[in-house]
C-alpha cells in the first residue's frame, strides 16, 4: 500500500512512514495511491461482528502488511475495551428510518476516541520497532486534544504538545486536557482561534529542521490513520441497517472535514452510501463553498458547538484531490491561493462531482437550542450542541430514499451549559469522570505566535 501527497510533490511512502509523518513534506495530505475496494460479500460478512473485528479488517486494508495482522487485531481489541458501551458505537432509533450513531462512549466522551485509541497504539508499536522517539503536536478545537492525551499519556517514547484556543473550549473539554498528570503531556492555551492553532502546527510541520530535531508527528485528522479508523463506524452502522442490500445516508457535524471524509472513503470502498450531508454551525464555510464553489474564510464566530468553530477545514483538500480525479496541480494551486489571497474557487466540474453525493446545511444557534429541547421532549434523549447541528441539517435534507444516520459526536455532559440553557436539565458526567472538576489543572498560556510555540517545544521535547 503506497501513500501519495494531495499536492503531488512528495515521494510515495508506505503506511508506517505516513503514520509517523502525518503531513507530507510538500505540505499536502497523504491518501492511498489506490483505494481498497470491498465486495458486497465482504461488507455483508461484517454483520453482527464485534466492532474490533470490523476495525481490524479495515486497518488491514490500508496498512498493506506493514503491521502484522495479529498486532492489528490486538490493537483493535484493546481500543474497543476502552469504551463503556458493549456495542462501542451503538445505533439509536429516534424516528422511522431516522437514527443517531452514538460515538461518545470512549474515555473522553467524543468521537475522536474511536480513532485515537487505535492510532496511539499503532504509533507506539512502530516507534518501538524502529527504536525511535516522537513528539506529537496537535491543534484542537476541543475534542482531539483530550482524546490524544488519553491515548498517548504515559507512553515511554512520545512527548505530547496540545494547542487549544484559550477561552474558546468548554470547561469540560479544557479540564480533560489540563488535568492529566503524566509528565510527557503539555497543554498550551494559545491566544487566538482554532484556525490560528492549526496554522502554527502546519508551519511547524513545514520547518523540516525542527521536524527532524524533535521527531515531529501529528494526530490531527491530517494523519491518514485517523481517517481510516473512522471508516469503521460507517461500515458497522451501514451493515446493521441493511447494507450492502440497501443504501444509507449519513449526516455529519463537520468542522475540520475529517469525519465526513471518512464517510467518503467508506463510499469509495464500496459501501452503498446515498448522501453525505455536511452539517455546519454558523461558521458555514463548507455550506457556502458547496453552494457556490467559492471557498473564502471569514471571521470565526464562537458558538455553543466550539469543536466546529472552524473556517479552514484541512481535510477538504483530500476531497478536492478526489474531485480533480487525482490531479495534484489544481489542488496545489487552490492551497497556494488560500495561503496567499485567502480564498480559492472550486472548478465547476469538481464542484459537480461533490454535489452528486454531498449536501451541506448550516444551523443557527437558535435552531441548535430548539433541536436540543425538541429531541428531549420527543425522544427523551439529551443531545449535545454538535449532534443538534447534525439533526437540524437532517431536517433540512427533506425526504431521502434511504435511512438517515446522524453522527452523535459528543456526550451532552461535555457541554452542560448549552444543554441546560436549552432544556433546563444539566447533564451529569459519567461516573468514571465524576471527579474531573476536583483535579488540578496544568497548562501554559502562549501568544498566538509560531516562534513562541516552536521555542516552547524545542526547550521541552526529548531529542
What is the phi-psi region of residue 198: left when phi exceeds 0, alpha when psi lies from -120 to 50, beta otherwise? Answer: alpha
Total number of residues shown for the chain:
463
> What grid cell was written down for 352?
459537480
Residue 163's H or E segment, with its range, is strand 158-165
Identified catalytic residue from 57, 112, 371, 414:
112
Q: What angle do CA 197, 62, 140 make, to 5 degrees?
A: 15
Helix-helix angle 69-80:51-63, to 10 degrees: 140
**How far apart (Å, rounded) are the C-alpha atoms in residues 163 and 191?**
10
CA–CA gap between residue 255 and residue 263 (Å, rounded)? 14
User: Could you tell me if 138 and 132 are in contact, meaning their C-beta atoms sit under 8 angstroms apart?
Assistant: no
- Residue 396 bears catalytic tag: no
Kindly state the cell numbers that stand for 238. Answer: 451501514
Q: Which runs of E-coded beta strand occur in 347-459? A: 358-362, 404-408, 444-446
Q: How many CB atoms lie within 10 A of CB 370?
A: 15
Neighbours of 26 (CB within 10 A): 16
* 423 in Cβ contact with 309 (< 8 Å): no
C-alpha cell at 117: 485509541
Round to whole Å and give the CA distance between 268 and 166. 38
Q: Could you write out the three-class secondary structure of 407-422?
A: EECECHHHCHHHHHHH
| Letter string b/e over residues 438-460, b meaning 16 or more CB atoms within 10 A of that residue's CB | eeeeebeebebebebbbebbeee
Say how many C-beta atoms besides its own lie within 10 A of residue 463's C-beta.
8
CA distance 165 to 150: 19
By C-alpha distance, which of 250, 251, 20, 296 is closest to 133? 20
Catalytic residues: 112
Amino acid at each position: 500500500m503506497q501513500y501519495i501527497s494531495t499536492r503531488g510533490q512528495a515521494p510515495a511512502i508506505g503506511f508506517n512512514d505516513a503514520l509517523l509523518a502525518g503531513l507530507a513534506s510538500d505540505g499536502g495530505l497523504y491518501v492511498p495511491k489506490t483505494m481498497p475496494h470491498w465486495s458486497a460479500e465482504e461488507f455483508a460478512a461484517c454483520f453482527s461482528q464485534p466492532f474490533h473485528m470490523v476495525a481490524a479488517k479495515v486497518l488491514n486494508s490500508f496498512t498493506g502488511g506493514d503491521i502484522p495482522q495479529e498486532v492489528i487485531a490486538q490493537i483493535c481489541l484493546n481500543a474497543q475495551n476502552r469504551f463503556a458501551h458493549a456495542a462501542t458505537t451503538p445505533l439509536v432509533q429516534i424516528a422511522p428510518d431516522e437514527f443517531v450513531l452514538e460515538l461518545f462512549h470512549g474515555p473522553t466522551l467524543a468521537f475522536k476516541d474511536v480513532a485515537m485509541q487505535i492510532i496511539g497504539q499503532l504509533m507506539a508499536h512502530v516507534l518501538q520497532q524502529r527504536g525511535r522517539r516522537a513528539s506529537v503536536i496537535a491543534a484542537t478545537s476541543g475534542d482531539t486534544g483530550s482524546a490524544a492525551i488519553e491515548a498517548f499519556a504515559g507512553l515511554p517514547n512520545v512527548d505530547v504538545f496540545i494547542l487549544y484556543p484559550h477561552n474558546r473550549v468548554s470547561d469540560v473539554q479544557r479540564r480533560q486536557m489540563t488535568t492529566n498528570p503524566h509528565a510527557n503531556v503539555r497543554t498550551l492555551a494559545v491566544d487566538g482561534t482554532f484556525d490560528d492553532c492549526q496554522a502554527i502546527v502546519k508551519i511547524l510541520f513545514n520547518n523540516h529542521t525542527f521536524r527532524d530535531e524533535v521527531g515531529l508527528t501529528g494526530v490531527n485528522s491530517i494523519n491518514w490513520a485517523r481517517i481510516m479508523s473512522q471508516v469503521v463506524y460507517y461500515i458497522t452502522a451501514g451493515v446493521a441497517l441493511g447494507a450492502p442490500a440497501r443504501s444509507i445516508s449519513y449526516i455529519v457535524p463537520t468542522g475540520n472535514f475529517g469525519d465526513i471524509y471518512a464517510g467518503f472513503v467508506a463510499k469509495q470502498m464500496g459501501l452503498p452510501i446515498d448522501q453525505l450531508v455536511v452539517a455546519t454551525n454558523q461558521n458555514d464555510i463548507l455550506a457556502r463553498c458547496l453552494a457556490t464553489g467559492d471557498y473564502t474564510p471569514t471571521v470565526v464566530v464562537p458558538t455553543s458547538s466550539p469543536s466546529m468553530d472552524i473556517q479552514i477545514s484541512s481535510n477538504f483538500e483530500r476531497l478536492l484531490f478526489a474531485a480533480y480525479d487525482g490531479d495534484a496541480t489544481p489542488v496545489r494551486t487552490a492551497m497556494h491561493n488560500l495561503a496567499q489571497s485567502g480564498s480559492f474557487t472550486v472548478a465547476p466540474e469538481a464542484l459537480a462531482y461533490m454535489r452528486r453525493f454531498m449536501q451541506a446545511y448550516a444551523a443557527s444557534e437558535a435552531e441548535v437550542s430548539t433541536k436540543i429541547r425538541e429531541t428531549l421532549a420527543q425522544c427523551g434523549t439529551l443531545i449535545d450542541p454538535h449532534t443538534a447541528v447534525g439533526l437540524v441539517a437532517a431536517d433540512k435534507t427533506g425526504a431521502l430514499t434511504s435511512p438517515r444516520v446522524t453522527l452523535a459526536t459528543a456526550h451532552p455532559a461535555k457541554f452542560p451549559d448549552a444543554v441546560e440553557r436549552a432544556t433546563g436539565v444539566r447533564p451529569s458526567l459519567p461516573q468514571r469522570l465524576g471527579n474531573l472538576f476536583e483535579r488540578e489543572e496544568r497548562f501554559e498560556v502562549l501568544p498566538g505566535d509560531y516562534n513562541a510555540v516552536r521555542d516552547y517545544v524545542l526547550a521541552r521535547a526529548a531529542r
